[in-house]
Amino acid sequence: MQQYPQVSASFSSPAALEWLGAISESNAVISAILAVIHPKLYDAGWQTAKRLRDTPEIDPQDVLSLWASVFSGVAIISNHSTPPHRDRSSRCHWYDMLVTLGRYRNCNLELLGLGISLKYGPGTVVGISGKLLEHAMLSFEGDRVCYAYFMRNNVHEWVNVPASDWMHTQYYE
């Protein structure tokens, strides 16, 4: 028997569907940023999302029709720091997109292996290889939310979309 991917149970309520509709424009903008910084990964994400929408056995289809993103998932981190970590379910050459919003200050994104600390103020969008680079956000003052967009390797494999390669400047020639 064919094993189909499942939509997260978190999206089973009318409120969740309403929320998806409300953030659809933001999701499209984040996807467009990915199209600029890694066009091949954008194409692979778009193709994956299309194939999922074209698979009627995946339920509920209403979630997929509202999913205006090339990323296969989003995690929402509200008013929490994140300890040093790497994202395990991606690929080294894929970018995650981190979007941070709110009314807060004194926040830095730490790229520990590189010894880099970036100011991480409201409205910041960062494309990062979360699997390759250990990263953390250790403290802040105020109210903060981070939308962490990601792609899952197993989803791309299930729909048989080849993984994109590393980003190359010749993509822009």
> pLDDT (tens digit, 9 = 90+) per residue, 152-167?
888 888 888 987 888 7
Grouping H, G, I as helix, E, B as strand and the rest as coil, residue 154 is: helix
Distance CA 56, CA 19 (A): 23
Instruction: Break the chain into its structural domains and give their ranges.
Output: 74-150
Architecture of domain 74-150: Sandwich (2.60)
Half-sphere exposure of 165 (CA within 13 A, CB side): 4
pLDDT over threshold 60, residue 125: yes
Distance CA 154, CA 159 (A): 9
Q: Please answer whether residues 147 and 76 qualify as being in contact, where contact means their C-beta atoms are separated by less than 8 angstroms.
A: yes
Q: What is the pLDDT of residue 1?
A: 39
Q: Which whole-number Å values give the CA distances from 139 to 18, 23, 54, 57, 81, in the listed order?
A: 31, 26, 42, 43, 6
Residues 12-61 have pLDDT tens digits of 778 888 988 899 999 999 999 999 999 999 999 999 999 988 887 776 66
Please, which pLDDT band fits residue 114 given cuts at 50, 70 and 90?
A: very high
